[in-house]
Structure 1
C-alpha cells in the first residue's frame, strides 16, 4: 500500500506507546502525533519508519521526512550508503542536497561566507596532527569546545582550556584518526543564560524555546540533564534565524536555529539543524500545522 510520508526514526523509537515513566519516548510520540494529525487534516497519510529497516520498500512513499534519526552519526557509513540508495527511490525532506550539506559542521564556514554571523570555528581535518593547545593559542582563545564535525546529542563534546588541552590530546588524536573535528571558543552565555532555539518553517519563524544546561555543565541537551523552557525571542533573534535559513538553497521546509550571545555580546548562530532537529511541537501545537503545510507544498508538483 502506498503512503504519502515516511516519518523517519531509528530502531530505538519505533514503539507506538511509551512505557510508564519514559518521558523521552512520550515526547517523541507527542511531537510525531501532532504532525501526523496535521498531515491527515491535509489528506496526507503517514507512517513512522525505522530508516535502517532493510525490509522497507521506500518507493511506496512519496517522501521520507527526517524526524528522530538520532543514531545516524553513530552509524555514519551505513547512513551515507542509505542516503545514496533511498534518494533514488523516493524524495527526501529536507531536500537531499540540503541534508548532505547539513550533515557536516563545515556548513558553518559556508554560512559565515554568506554573511550569517556564526560562532567562530577552526576545523581539524581527519589525520591532523596539530596540537590542540597550538590551535587555541593561534586563535587567541583561552577556553574552547571540541566536537566532531558529524555529531549529535553532544557526542564527544569536550570543554577545554589552554591548561587542559594537553590532557585531551590523546583522546583527540584517536578521534582525528577517524573523523574531522571542530574547535570553537567557549561561549560563556551558554552557562549564564542558555541557548535560544528558534523553529522556522518555510523560511518563517514559528516558535522558540530556551535550553538551559544543568548546574555545573555546559551541554544543554536533555540527554545530559539540560532543561527546556518556553521562550519569546526578540525581533533581532527572529530576523537572524530567518536569515540563516534563507541563506540555504533550496529553501528548507523546516529547520531549527540555535542562537547564543557570543563573548562580544553579539547574536550568533551556534548551529543550524536541517536534518532531524527536535522541534518541540508539543510546546506550540499550532507549529504542527505550519510544518504539515510545508510538507504538503513540498509534495505538490
Structure 2
C-alpha cells in the first residue's frame, strides 16, 4: 500500500470539504492517505511515499516558513506539487513571465493607468485578502502605496465588468489532463463573500480557453499533480489568465463525479 500525506492547515471549522472525497478515492486506488498539518513539528514526512499539498490556506501569512517547510519535505520524500513550483506560484509576480495574455496589471503605486475602476491587492495573498475594489484613482494609488510601505509588491488591475456577465472560468487539470471546468462566483461582485469561493456551476470551456490554459501548463517543466487555471475574457472577447493556481487550489471536485477518482489516478501515475 502506498502511503501519502494529505497536507492541510489547522482547520477548526472544517472548511476543507474536499478532504474526505479525496481520501476515499485514494483508498480505492490503493493509496493510504493520512491527514497532516503542514506546520506540525511532530510530523515525520520521511515516512511517506509522497506528500501532497492541499488546503494549506494560511500559507500567505507565513510564506517564508511555508517554503522552508517545503524544502525540508522535499529533502526526504516526494512533494507534490514540487517545491520550486510552490515558491514561484505563491508570488503572483509570476504573471509577468507567463508569456500569454493576462489581465492588465500595474505593479507599482506610481503612474497608475486611468481605468474606470480598480482592483488593488498584494502579489502575495490568498482568496480576496487585502483586496479592494474602487473607482477612485487616488484611493487606488494610496492602497498600492500602503502595500509597498509594508514591503510587498502591489498589483493594480482594472475591474472587468465581463467578470460578472461571463464569469471567471476555472479549468482543473490532474497530471496534465483536463478533468472539468466551472464558472466561479466573482469574489468582488456586489454581495459576494469569502464563502462564495466554493460556489460555482459546471461549464464546458470554449476551445480558446482550453488552448490558453494548456499553453500555460506547457510552460511548466515540472510534473504537476494538480493545476487550476483561472481565466476571464477581456472587453474584446479574448481570454486572459487572471491566476494560475498550483499551490492550494480548491478543486471543485463535487462538480464532476469522476474528479476524485481522476485525482487519485493522477497521483498513482506520478508515483
Give the match for residue 119 of structure 1.
Answer: 103
TM-score (norm 1): 0.81
* Equivalent residue, structure 2, for 1:54: 41
**Is residue 2:118 matched to residue 1:144?**
yes
User: Given the superposition, is the C-alpha separation of residues 201 and 48 from structure 1 closer, same or farther in structure 2, using an over 3 Å criterion?
Assistant: same
SS in 1 for 2:269: helix
Quote the Cα distance in structure 2 between the aligned partners of 1:198 and 1:241.
7
1:109 aligns with 2:96: yes
Contact 1:214 1:225 in 2 (8 A): yes
* Correspondence 1:291 to 2:263: yes
**What are the superposed Cα offsets for residues 43-63 of structure 1, whole Å, 9 maximum, x if unpaired?**
111111111111111111122
Contact (CA 8 Å) 1:98, 1:249: kept in 2 or not?
no
Cα distance between partner residues in 2 of 1:226 and 1:207: 15
**Is structure 2 residue 210 aligned with structure 1 residue 238?**
yes
Please tell me whether the aligned partners of residues 190 and 218 of structure 1 are also in contact (alpha carbons under 8 angstroms).
no
1:1-301 pair list within 5 angstroms: 4-12=3-11, 25=15, 28-29=16-17, 31-112=18-99, 116-124=100-108, 130-131=109-110, 134-137=111-114, 141-161=115-135, 164-177=136-149, 178-213=151-186, 217=190, 222-223=194-195, 227-299=199-271
Superposed CA offset, 1:154-191 (max 9, x none)? 11111234xx1323444433321221121222222112
Aligned-partner SS, 1:196: strand
Unmatched runs of 5 consecutive residues or more in structure 2? none
Structure 1 unaligned segments of length 5 or more: list them: 19-24, 125-129
Alpha carbons of 1:267 and 1:298: their partners in 2 closer, same or farther (altered >3 Å)? same
Aligned positions, number: 270
Structure 2 SS opposite 1:11: coil
| Counterpart position of 1:22 | none
Q: Deviations over 1:32-73 (max 9, x none)?
A: 222222222221111111111111111111221111111100
Equivalent-residue separation in structure 1 for 2:137 and 2:56 (angstroms): 32
TM-score normalised per structure 2: 0.90
Runs of 4+ in 1 over 6 A off after TM superposition: none
Question: CA 1:103–1:257 in structure 2 vs 1: closer, same or farther (change >3 Å)?
Answer: same
| CA RMSD of superposed structures (Å) | 2.4
Aligned residues of 1:214 and 1:227 also touching (Cα < 8 A): no
CA 1:11 to 1:212, structure 2 compared with 1: closer, same or farther past 3 Å? same
